[in-house]
Copies of this chain bind each other. A is one copy, B any other.
């Protein structure tokens, strides 16, 4: 195997699995280094592969993109664009030159967090940069902004997505199927307040129509801490359209607030772009198999295009469904959001047991898989999986609000 000589590549002997891999450190904040623009491919690595694959890192420019890095992973089937500067979020996924996962936000640039003041607009600053397919909302807190019991403003959806990754590493297995792994450490470190780091890991295998996240949150402090996380996964065109449908393995669905009451019965189907719709949010209680694995399927009207989001209810016990089917220009999008918590402010979720604790030194794992459903067969197979989990029981519709925002403050 021939390695690009300008970068330190380490051939790791993983004895147990008899796998060797080329490892490329792109960013290392402990050494203060960064490779700058960079790329590898199966060709440059001298790897014979049925599927041409490549990984590229480049820096964006223009407006609030100053200093933003993206990593573009092409596995021959999908092209996934990651944003190390924005917490290793996933900007979008392309297939056959078309954006298949992602959405069109009013926010057009990939905004460097240095231009964002999260506490602005009473804690809504996060909205200045929101345009990704996957936003991690956490980990110190998540949910809607509001002043917590201790008097501190918790800004919308936490800080992790607006934190640049400290260390970024690409690993490519030497032997087929040449799994590609992108790891990035994102730190929420504030003296006396938080010592949470998340090792994000994206795995993708050349030629496959799916990829997965395997994140590890660690509390490096000597004290237990709260944490919250929502995997805010957002999909617009071409999957979302009038008549698109979401199917989730769940026992119950209820409206997030009064406004969503009106949409409860039709929670599974989508309107086309609808002026003045704004957003409806639903709280789901997901169910998994014996290992906890659950699945949500979103597909277009013809049921020949979609996405399946797999996660584990032992890690992420609740599911938020965000239906933002307002106009195209406002951002026509739906969010499928497995998490530890719903989207309410933290103070409203503590009494519900939805603000878990991470002990001193402890690590928590989160696994989420995204599968692009390319045709009717893919869609129907995914729906069958949900059906299996559901064991013939319908998702119960409950009008009762989990948190009644009219009554709490």
Contacts and interface: CB of A to CB of B under 8 A. Distances in A.
A151 B166 contact: no
A195 interface: yes
A329 B62 contact: no
A293 interface: no
A351 interface: no
Nearest to A278: B192
A32 B127 CA distance: 21
Contacts of A122: 151-153
A contact residues, range: 35 or more
Contacts of A331: 191-192
Given A106-B220, A114-B112, A153-B122, A127 B193 contact: yes
A363 interface: no
Nearest to A35: B61
A39 to B, nearest CB: 15
A63 B391 CA distance: 46
A105 interface: yes
A33 interface: yes
A260 interface: no
Interface stretch (A22-30, A205-213, A400-408): A22-30
A193 B115 contact: no
Contact of A166 (B28, B109, B164): B109
A190 B130 CA distance: 8
Given A122-B152, A329-B221, A127 B29 contact: no
A238 to B, nearest CB: 20
A167 to B, nearest CB: 7
A119 interface: yes
Interface stretch (A64-72, A175-183, A280-288): A64-72
24 contacts: A27-B61, A27-B63, A29-B60, A29-B65, A29-B109, A32-B61, A32-B65, A34-B61, A63-B166, A63-B187, A106-B189, A106-B220, A106-B221, A107-B189, A108-B187, A109-B166, A119-B119, A128-B190, A130-B191, A195-B329, A222-B275, A222-B327, A222-B329, A223-B330
Interface of A: 27-34, 58-67, 70, 105-110, 112-115, 117-122, 124, 127-128, 130-131, 151-153, 163-167, 187, 189-193, 195, 220-223, 275, 326-331
